[in-house]
């Protein structure tokens, strides 16, 4: 079955939901499908830059705001649940209204709960089946029921992880009870491990991402640490994760700043890095495993998912991690430089089998 018309719509919280859709988009195009994109914010801009020839639709964003302190993160998110549910209804209305004129054969949504249609096959992509609210198992159970009820509206639920040994995401992707429409499709990454790289790693790469104000707060803290005299012999590259911004800032001393890189340039930069410093978002974790890079993971304060992933992967001795307010952050970065590369090999082509199962040849 070829020449299908497929809509892909990633969530606009950070860039990770969009970046992990890129290998799926590439493969669908290779298979002769007509792909259209729907998004908003920086993630939508990223997809437009990666695929300028594809039809792009501006879909309503969720309009979520984030606190400056991690302690209030969960509470503020809970208070915004009515806003989130309203956004879900609004994007579902958008899908219903626009399907009339566009007639999609398949809708692939990365964490956009409203991007489904009763008359169209649909896929929901998430690595986070288990909800960690931070308020205990009772609240987690209530959130899980709501989560699964929304997932069941889709024809399929793809989990970008492997089944064995709780995969990369641990309990997040391997809860005690699974939705009936779940399929593990293996990790997803837009990066090519065979890209060119320097024989000798040149720079420590700081890959910033995620929502404000925490993105800027981490950037300022790292600049403050890495500008100290003891780091003057090292070269740093800050990838700021701002695809809408231009031009790139000027280089200051031993620190270079770039707002955004396309997938090819991003892969080359990370491949040539001594180490990578980044958030512990799951898409970033998959990219690091894909390229087999040493890294320090710094979870966004208050984001229980990222805090769990950083702890889980540190205990598995795959990466190092620290909290954003850790006074020993500089020491941990130095320890990472002297550590060994992560020893883990995973199949990043599992999603192609999932496309086969949908009859997309």
pLDDT tens, residue by residue, 242-271? 887 777 776 677 899 999 898 889 999 999
- 128 and 143 Cβ atoms separated by less than 8 Å: no
Structural domains present in the chain: 5-187+347-357 (3.40.50.2000), 203-337 (3.40.50.2000)
User: How sure is the predictor about 62, in pLDDT bands with cuts at 50, 70 and 90?
Assistant: confident
pLDDT digits (tens, 9 = 90+) for 78-91: 666 777 788 889 99
Residues 280-299, mean pLDDT to the nearest whole number: 95
Which has more confidence, 10 or 80? 10
- At CA 196, angle to CA 192 and CA 197, rounded to 5? 110
Whether residue 199 has pLDDT greater than 60: no
Least confident range of 49-58, 162-171, 248-257: 248-257
Mean pLDDT of the chain: 89
Q: Average pLDDT for residues 343-352, to the nearest whole number?
A: 90
pLDDT tens-digit readout, 24-41: 999 999 999 999 999 998
- Across the range 332-357, mean pLDDT stands at 91
Q: Is 70 exceeded by the pLDDT of residue 198? A: no
pLDDT, greater one: 186 or 245: 186
Q: What is the pLDDT of residues 102-111, one digit of tens each?
A: 999 999 999 9
Q: Which of 316, 282, 310 is nearest to 296 (CA)?
A: 310
Give the tens place of pLDDT for each residue, 115-156. Answer: 999 989 999 999 999 988 777 777 778 878 888 999 999 999
The whole-number pLDDT of residue 80 equals: 66
At 172 the pLDDT is 95
pLDDT confidence bin for 161, thresholds 50/70/90: very high
Alpha-carbon distance 270 to 191, whole Å?
A: 9
> Residue 63: which pLDDT band, with cuts at 50, 70 and 90?
low
Q: What is the pLDDT of residue 110?
A: 96
Q: Are strands 236-239 and 203-207 parallel, antiparallel or unpaired?
A: parallel
Q: What pLDDT, on a 0 to 100 scale, did the predictor assign at position 82? A: 76
Whether the model pTM is above 0.85? yes
The pLDDT of residue 79 is: 64
pLDDT at residue 196, as a whole number: 63
Q: Are the C-beta atoms of residues 95 and 109 closer than 8 Å to each other?
A: no
Count CB neighbours of 347 within 10 A: 12
Q: How far apart are CA 350 and CA 357, in angstroms?
A: 11
């Amino acid at each position: 079955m070829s020449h299908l018309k497929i809509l892909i719509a990633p969530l606009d919280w950070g860039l990770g939901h969009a970046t992990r859709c890129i290998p799926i988009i590439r493969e669908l195009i290779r298979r002769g499908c007509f792909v259209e994109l729907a998004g908003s914010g920086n993630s939508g801009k990223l997809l437009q830059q990666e695929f300028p020839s594809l039809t792009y639709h501006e879909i309503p964003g969720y309009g979520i705001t984030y606190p400056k302190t991690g302690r209030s993160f969960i509470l503020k998110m809970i208070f915004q649940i009515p806003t989130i549910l309203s956004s879900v209804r609004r994007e579902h209305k958008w899908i219903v209204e626009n399907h009339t004129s566009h007639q999609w054969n398949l809708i692939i949504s990365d964490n956009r709960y409203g991007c489904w249609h009763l008359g169209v096959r649909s896929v929901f992509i998430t690595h986070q089946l288990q909800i960690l609210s931070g308020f205990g198992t009772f609240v987690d159970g209530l959130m899980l029921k709501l989560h699964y009820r929304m997932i069941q509206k889709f024809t399929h639920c793809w989990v970008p992880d492997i089944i064995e040994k709780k995969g990369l995401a641990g309990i997040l992707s391997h809860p005690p009870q699974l939705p009936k429409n779940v399929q593990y499709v293996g990790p997803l990454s837009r990066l090519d491990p065979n890209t060119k790289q320097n024989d000798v790693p040149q720079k420590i790469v700081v890959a910033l991402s995620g929502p404000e104000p925490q993105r800027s707060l981490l950037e300022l803290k790292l600049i403050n640490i890495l500008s100290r005299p003891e780091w003057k012999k090292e070269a740093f590259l800050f990838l700021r994760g701002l695809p809408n911004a231009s031009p790139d800032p000027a280089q200051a001393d031993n620190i270079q700043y770039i707002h955004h890189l396309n997938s090819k340039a991003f892969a080359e930069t990370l491949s040539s890095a001594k180490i990578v410093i980044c958030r512990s978002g799951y898409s970033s974790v998959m990219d690091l495993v894909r390229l087999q890079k040493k890294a320090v993971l710094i979870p966004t304060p208050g984001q229980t998912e990222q805090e769990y992933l950083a702890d889980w992967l540190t205990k598995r001795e795959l990466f190092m991690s620290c909290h954003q307010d850790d006074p020993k952050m500089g020491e941990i970065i130095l320890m990472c430089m002297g550590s060994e590369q992560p020893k883990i090999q995973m199949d990043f082509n599992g999603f192609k089998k999932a496309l086969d199962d949908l009859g997309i040849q």
